[in-house]
Amino acid sequence: MSINVLLIDDSAVMRAIALKSLQMSGVPLGTVHQAANGVDGLAVLHQHWVDLILLDVSMPFMRGDEMLEQMRADPALAGTPVVVVTSERGTERVTRMQELGAVHLPKPFTPEQLRDVVRDVTGVRS
Amino acid sequence: MSGSLEENLYSAAVFTFERVAFLVPDIPPDPEQRQQPVEAVASVEFSGPACGTLQLHAGNGLLPLITANMVGMDDPDEALQLDALGELANIICGQFLPALDPVSAFEHKPPEIIAGGDFTDEAFSVEPPAVLSARAEIGFESSRADVLLFLHPDARSET
């Protein structure tokens, strides 16, 4: 089984690093979508099936925590696994996202760390 | 985390450059590396149990090198290069801040980038009352990076 992933980060460099890490991790990938903020991320989710979201916190237009709040309030999106990828540690925003079921992956991360988190939240093995 | 502010700043910067940009640092930079003028600066403001700004100064020629390593792309455009610099500053900041307070959380703002100027350390300073509290100077191949930590005096006195 391959998984469709949505990468949401306002940094194109971080999206590229996340994509490269996913490819190196051995996780069976389907389609990888990308968005630069929460607004664009929600638009992708309403158009495509996504199995996993890697979500930044601090972004223009709509932050990661704001997007996750909206997702959890939408029955169609509420169950989608979310990994919060940020260099923030223990902040209110990250804590709130964890309370909403997201898993925190601190930057920087290795492909192996990403693989382990993806396995944990999706149950998909390489 | 133990050690001086400067030791922790070096540690955070070296770890980030090695892990994210796959660059092995030269410490201290050699004279040729030191001569490279600053090409761009990424600045990250943080607040919490301590308040201040972390700046990452990139010497001439460093941006294409770090960006190519980070994204695996030859000849990255300028926007991507500045994006890469901002992300490195952001990650260094996240790595360093536990040295100021290992328990409490810090908020940090998105990085601000300044490029295309004729930079000197004196010309690019943080508004008072924040003061330069630690500095890490690192050489990379034929260029250099400087990481500067500015702390609000009230917060500095707590560390």
Span B44-56, pLDDT tens digits? 999 999 999 999 9
CATH of the domain at B98: 3.40.1550.10
- Binary contact (B70, A17; C-beta < 8 A): yes
How far is the alpha carbon of B31 from chain A, nearest alpha carbon, in Å?
31
Which residues of chain B are within 8 Å of residue A16 when distances are taken between CB atoms? Answer: 70-73
Q: Is A20 touching B (CB cutoff 8 A)?
A: yes
Spatial contact of A56 and A10, defined as CB atoms under 8 Å apart: yes
Q: Do the domain assignments include residue A86?
A: yes
Give chain B's end-to-end CA distance (angstroms, integer). 12
- Binary contact (A107, B90; C-beta < 8 A): yes
Task: Assign B146 a pLDDT band (cuts: 50, 70, 90).
Answer: very high
The count of domains in chain A is 1
pTM of the model: 0.89
- pLDDT of B17 above 90: yes
- What residues have CB less than 8 Å from A97, skipping those under 6 apart? A55, A57, A64, A65, A68, A82, A84, A104
Domain containing B131 equals: 5-155
How many other CB atoms are found less than 10 A from the CB of residue B24? 9
The count of domains in chain B is 1
Task: Copy the structure tokens of residue B128.
Answer: 């008072």
Cα A84 to chain centroid distance, Å, stands at 6
DSSP category for residue B127:
P
Q: Tens digits of per-residue pLDDT, A56-103?
A: 998 989 999 999 999 999 999 999 999 999 998 888 899 999 999 999
Closest CA in chain A for residue B92? A87
Task: Assign B148 a pLDDT band (cuts: 50, 70, 90).
Answer: very high
- Binary contact (B94, A87; C-beta < 8 A): yes
Scan for tokens 């040295």, then name that residue.
Answer: B99
CATH of the domain at A18: 3.40.50.2300
Q: Do the domain assignments include residue A126?
A: no
Which residues of chain B are within 8 Å of residue A88 when distances are taken between CB atoms? Answer: 94, 105-108
